[in-house]
Each structure stands twice: as C-alpha cells, then as structure tokens.
Amino acid sequence: MKILITDDHAVVRQGYASLLSVMLDPCEVFEAESGEEACMRCVAHQPDMMILDINLPGISGIETARRILKRDPDARILFFSMYDEMPMVQQALDCGALGYITKSSSPEVLIEAVRNVAVGQIYVEHALAMRLAMRQQPKTVSDQRLQDMTQREFEVFVMLARGFSVKAVAEQLSISAKTVSNYTAMLKSKLEVDSTTELVHLAIETGVIKVSPEVGR
C-alpha cells in the first residue's frame, strides 16, 4: 500500500509514517508538508490513499482535497485533524473525503481508519459519527452565516472561539498576526458581532465549540 501523509509538522509526519510502516505491511509512505506539495506528490507517486491535516500553510487541507479529487474523483482521502467541531467535520466529508479522525485518536483507530479508507469505505471516528448523526435540526440564521465563511475564516473563527490569541492563531496557521487581525475584523462584520466575546457566544450557540458540563459548577 502506498500512503501520502500531509502535515506541516515534521515530527508528526515522521512519527505516523513510522507507525504506518510498522503496522501495515507492506506499506510505502510518502510525506508532504503543504497542500501544494501534496498535490504534486499525489501526481508523482499515485498513492492508494492520502492522510491530510486541515491546518496547512498555504492552501488548507480541505482545498487540497478538492483539488486532488477534481483531478482524480476516485482519490481516497482521510482527514486527520485537531478539530472535532461538527461544521469542520461536515465540510471535510462534504468535499469528498472518505474519512475523518482527530489527532487525539489512538494508533489503533488510525490504523483501522487507514485500512477502511484504503479500500474505499467511509470511516468516521465513533464519537464524531454519533454527533453527526444527532446533528439534524433546522439551520438558524447564524448557521447560514457560518456556511458562508471561507475555509480560512472558519479556521480563524474556531481558534478565536477556543481562546487562542491572535499571535497563537498566526503561529498555528503560518500567517502573520496582521492577517489574523484582518480576518478577525472581517468575521465580526460578517457575523454581525462587536467583540471576540460575542464570537465565542455565537460559536457555543451554533455548536461550533463544545462547553464542558463542568463549566459554571
């Protein structure tokens, strides 16, 4: 099996590449650190499946998946991300990916997901699959505004709602702090809120982020 793993952190890539090489025999793993590089390596190596992070420098993982699937509609893609918010999971699956698991998953879950996606089967981490199944309710005006966001706007929105500082968001997304500030201003205008606190409240109301039941006790 040939696998292409794309993540902008070398330690993460190499760690999972080693795991896959040991657990899946025979297995040949190729690496990419950006969406653009993933697209090129996909053409060069013709992998049986791809593992994509969502947070990538340059084009996002979801845009990378769209480009790969446009060229090859049969491409088999598994998203492997820090995000467990339902709108993000839904976007990833809607773009044509076959699977989605979080980086908090056990190695066993990763291997199971890879095996399923490699043969064309859908695999969504159990907890996420349950939440997706329960997410059947009429969309509110706020939900529609979220749907109108670009991928990068949504990533900034989620991280701000999680309490990341502008500097931390910039570092995570490999963009400048000024760019993050510009996105923040655009988000406030698009979502019709006046402060970051209101952004957080909106994220909670629409289910973009979860609040621990312990909060407030």
DSSP result, 105-172: S-HHHHHHHHHHHHTT--EE-HHHHHHHHH------HHHHHHHTS-HHHHHHHHHHHTT--HHHHHHH
Q: Whole-prediction pTM value? A: 0.67
The confidence score (pLDDT) of residue 126 equals 83
Amino acid at 23: M
What b/e string do you get for 97-128 counting C-beta neighbours within 10 Å, with b at 16 or more? bbbbbbeebeeeebbbbbebbbeeeebbbeeb
The confidence score (pLDDT) of residue 216 equals 40
Ranking 158-162, 170-174, 178-182, 203-207 by mean pLDDT, the lowest is 203-207
82-120 pLDDT, tens digit per residue, is: 888 888 888 898 899 999 999 988 999 999 999 999 999
1-12 pLDDT, tens digit per residue, is: 999 999 999 998
What domains appear along the chain, each with residue ranges and CATH number? 2-133 (3.40.50.2300), 141-205 (1.10.10.10)
Peptide bond into 26 cis (omega under 30): yes
Other beta carbons within 10 Å of 144: 9
Whether 2 contacts 48, CB under 8 Å:
yes
